[in-house]
């Protein structure tokens, strides 16, 4: 069956998987890889790895990765009344939480619910205009009491995902929860489908990683086994074409993937990526040669696994390709299938490059 970018993305978006609970997505990724890769394995943390291309021990080793997990919540306490208190897993936008619908991964199957909000008619003053903090929110699953919630399969530690089935908008746009980073996972599957059976000059490792939204380091155990010469991450970046962000940067939807020049997370986790100039030039030259549109991005507030991968071993040259996305970490993210397809094209052009042409020491 011919690979279809949009159909594959829509399938992955229907799945739920907060950090540490990525099995649904991992099963799909592992099964898809197994049809064409030389080797496929899943480590004890849950990362899925597929090896394509050269099997020579001396071949250039390129690792391309994207994370499977999405932002969400976890049950912290079930009140005697049956209402559920919860904590964030990753960084779902707090302002969007009241009134959102959710799916709980109950012991006996999915349980639907909604995040409660004080009825507007009885709200007063600031209650009508300001979003309450998470400790003042609850999930309503329709349980009559605590025991009823238990009968429904909900308990402390139950994962909770945002609920918003994917929808097709105009101009090749998709609206859904979890575009961050099922877009990247789709890109991995697109690359896998295209290189299946090809005699690549390099050893290509495709990695579907875990727990990026939680601690950004879930991919690290994979590095010691692959020992890559270079790594390229695929993730999202805020698109600055909406009324609130217009003019902040030139990165917008439907203009191709972004090539990260710098990202940095200055709150809590002090890490980020300054991409080596020679590696940026290599990606831009490759894109130009294949008539692939790309955008440069500088994204403070964004961080991906590259911030930690680059300082492993004796230093690993890292780059990040970013798919512009509106309304990030909300229940209704929006991104372009066109940008995703261009990202896959660029990754394929890179994978088909002779290993000697990679800027291994791009200082």
Feature table: binding site: 67, 180, 213, 235, 329
Between strands 72-78 and 84-89, the pairing is antiparallel
HSE, side-chain direction, 13 A CA sphere, residue 289: 12
212 carries an active-site annotation = yes
- How far is Cα 265 from Cα 235, in angstroms, rounded to an integer? 15
Q: What are the backbone angles phi and psi of residue 185, rounded to the nearest 5°? A: -65, -40
Nearest to 302 by CA among 231, 212, 174: 212
What are the binding residues for Zn(2+)?
Answer: 67, 180, 213, 235, 329
> Choosing from 70, 212, 305, 333, which is the catalytic residue?
212
- DSSP lists the bridge partners of residue 237 as 324
Q: Which residues of 157-193 are buried (b: 16+ CB within 10 A; e: fewer)?
A: ebbbbbbbebeeeeebbbbbbbbbbbbbbbbbbbbbb
- Other CB atoms within 10 A of residue 300 CB: 11
Q: Which residues are catalytic?
A: 212
């Amino acid at each position: 069956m011919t690979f279809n970018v949009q159909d594959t993305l829509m399938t992955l978006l229907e799945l739920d998987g907060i950090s540490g609970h990525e099995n649904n997505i991992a099963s799909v990724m592992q099964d898809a890889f197994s049809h064409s890769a030389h080797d496929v394995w899943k480590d004890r943390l849950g990362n899925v790895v597929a090896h394509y291309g050269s099997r020579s021990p001396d071949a250039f080793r390129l690792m391309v990765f994207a994370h499977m997990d999405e932002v969400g919540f976890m049950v912290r306490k079930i009140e005697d009344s049956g209402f559920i208190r919860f904590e964030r897993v990753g960084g779902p936008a707090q302002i969007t939480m009241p009134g959102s619908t959710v799916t709980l991964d109950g012991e006996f199957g999915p349980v639907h619910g909604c995040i409660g909000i004080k009825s507007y008619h009885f709200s007063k003053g600031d209650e009508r205009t300001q979003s309450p903090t998470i400790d003042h929110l609850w999930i309503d699953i329709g349980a009559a009491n605590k025991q009823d919630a238990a009968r429904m399969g909900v308990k402390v530690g139950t994962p909770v995902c945002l609920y918003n089935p994917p929808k097709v908008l105009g101009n090749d746009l998709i609206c859904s929860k979890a575009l961050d980073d099922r877009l990247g996972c789709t890109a991995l599957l697109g690359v896998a489908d295209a290189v299946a059976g090809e005699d690549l000059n390099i050893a290509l490792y495709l990695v579907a990683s875990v727990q990026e939204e939680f601690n950004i380091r879930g991919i690290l155990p994979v590095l010691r086994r692959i020992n890559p010469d270079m790594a390229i991450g695929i993730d999202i970046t805020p698109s600055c074409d909406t009324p609130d962000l217009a003019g902040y940067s030139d990165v917008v939807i439907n203009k191709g993937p972004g090539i990260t020049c710098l990202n940095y997370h200055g709150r809590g986790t002090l890490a980020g990526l300054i991409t080596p100039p020679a590696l940026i030039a290599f990606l831009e030259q490759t894109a130009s040669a294949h008539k692939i549109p790309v955008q440069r991005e500088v994204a403070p507030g964004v961080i991906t696994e590259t911030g930690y991968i680059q300082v492993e071993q004796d230093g690993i040259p890292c780059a990040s390709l970013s798919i512009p996305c509106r309304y990030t970490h909300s229940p209704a993210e929006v991104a372009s299938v066109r940008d995703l397809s261009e990202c896959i094209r660029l990754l394929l052009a890179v994978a088909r490059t002779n290993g000697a042409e990679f800027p291994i020491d791009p200082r």
